[in-house]
């Protein structure tokens, strides 16, 4: 189960990393990696269009960094979802202003038998782990009230499974569908009843973060997942789409 997370959990426990475990957004190249990770979370939350009184779900909540930003911004009912109980344990630590429900389950199972109870759903750089993204979109469509909003980001490979992509997928396993292209999640979401509101490729703004995480890729390919992900981002062979969807019905804040 996500073996690469082991070292991140240890680093978090030791205070060496923040509560964000995703890439950073370097709109300002002078940012540190921690600051850029905060900026990435803030960019996603801006797309969510948050308001007081909403029910907000974070699917693949990691160590709780994005949820804590939401907790500080609005009065809301929050739900953190992760299949890994170790990440849930870290995320729930500390004081929370708002009530938070924690669900340890697959991304497609977070809504159970409940229908129309959420206003906003976030999944920040987690979907590549999901074994059944189609079922995830169906669960989101079931959970969201009419007019609700879903913001999803992930990493996609543009040129199929070359050696670099295989190294990345193996190093950040599980990565059940490395062959996925942009049309796949868009089609799955639309089939579930969502309307596309925005698509942004954030990959160019992620690139400076690799200077903090790994040496420059050498001319020859390696088996190091971070170095090879850097190579893919540099060449344009990987993308980082942030997708904004609206559930059916009238816009509801």
Over the stretch 59-91, which tens digit does the pLDDT of each residue have? 999 999 999 999 999 999 999 999 999 999 999
The verdict on whether omega for the bond into residue 8 sits within 30 degrees of 0, i.e. cis, is: no
Q: Using CA atoms, how far apart are residues 233 and 183, in angstroms rounded to an integer?
A: 19
Q: Using CA atoms, how far apart are residues 39 and 36, in angstroms rounded to an integer?
A: 5
The answer to whether the beta carbons of residues 82 and 58 sit under 8 Å apart is no
Q: What is the mean pLDDT of the chain?
A: 94
User: 22 lies in a domain?
Assistant: yes
At 200, give phi and psi (nearest 5°).
-130, 135
- Residue 218 C-alpha from the chain's centroid: 29
Q: Using CA atoms, how far apart are residues 36 and 25, in angstroms rounded to an integer?
A: 5
Instruction: Determine the pLDDT at residue 251.
Output: 38
Paired tokens of 19: 């509560």
User: 252 lies in a domain?
Assistant: no
Within 10 A of 155 (CB to CB), how many other CB atoms are there? 25
Paired tokens of 169: 């997928």
User: 62 lies in a domain?
Assistant: yes
**Size of the chain in residues:** 253
For position 112, which CATH number holds?
3.40.50.150
The DSSP element (H or E) to which 102 belongs, if any, is strand 100-104
Average pLDDT over residues 225-244: 97
The answer to whether the beta carbons of residues 238 and 59 sit under 8 Å apart is no
User: 253 lies in a domain?
Assistant: no
User: 117 lies in a domain?
Assistant: yes
Give the total number of structural domains in the chain.
1
For the chain, the straight-line distance linking the first and the last C-alpha, in angstroms and rounded, comes to 37
Q: Using CA atoms, how far apart are residues 83 and 230, in angstroms rounded to an integer?
A: 27
CA-wise closest residue to 145 among 57, 237, 46, 26: 57
Residue 1 binned pLDDT confidence (cut-offs 50, 70, 90):
low
The answer to whether the beta carbons of residues 213 and 233 sit under 8 Å apart is no
User: 82 lies in a domain?
Assistant: yes
In terms of residue numbers, what domain contains 92?
5-246
Q: Structure pTM?
A: 0.95
The SS3 call for residue 31 is: coil
Which distant-in-sequence residues (6+ apart) come within 8 Å of 104 by Cβ? 82, 83, 84, 85, 88
Would you say residue 5 has pLDDT above 70?
yes
Residue 251 backbone class (left: φ over 0; alpha: ψ -120 to 50; beta: rest):
beta
User: 112 lies in a domain?
Assistant: yes
Instruction: Determine the pLDDT at residue 7.
Output: 84
């Amino acid at each position: 189960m996500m073996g690469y997370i082991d070292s991140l959990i240890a680093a978090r426990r030791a205070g060496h990393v923040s509560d964000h475990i995703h890439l950073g957004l370097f709109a300002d190249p002078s940012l540190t990696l921690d600051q850029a990770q905060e900026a990435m979370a803030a960019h996603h939350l801006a797309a969510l269009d948050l308001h007081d009184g909403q029910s907000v779900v974070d699917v693949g909540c990691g160590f709780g960094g994005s949820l804590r930003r939401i907790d500080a911004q609005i009065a809301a009912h929050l739900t953190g979802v992760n299949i890994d109980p170790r990440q849930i344990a870290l995320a729930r630590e500390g004081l929370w202003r708002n009530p938070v429900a924690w669900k340890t389950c697959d991304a497609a199972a977070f809504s159970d038998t409940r229908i129309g109870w959420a206003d906003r759903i976030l999944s920040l750089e987690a979907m590549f782990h999901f074994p059944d993204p189609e079922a995830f979109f169906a669960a989101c469509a079931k959970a969201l009230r009419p007019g609700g909003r879903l913001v999803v980001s992930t990493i996609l490979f543009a040129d199929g499974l070359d050696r670099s992509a295989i190294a990345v997928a193996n190093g950040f396993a599980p990565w059940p569908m490395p062959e996925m292209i942009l049309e796949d999640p868009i089609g799955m979401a639309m089939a579930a009843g969502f309307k596309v509101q925005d698509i942004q490729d954030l990959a160019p703004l992620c690139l400076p973060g690799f200077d903090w995480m790994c040496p420059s890729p050498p001319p020859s390919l390696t088996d190091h997942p971070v170095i090879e992900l850097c190579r893919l981002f540099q060449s344009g062979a990987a993308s980082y789409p942030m997708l904004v969807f609206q559930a059916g019905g009238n816009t509801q804040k």
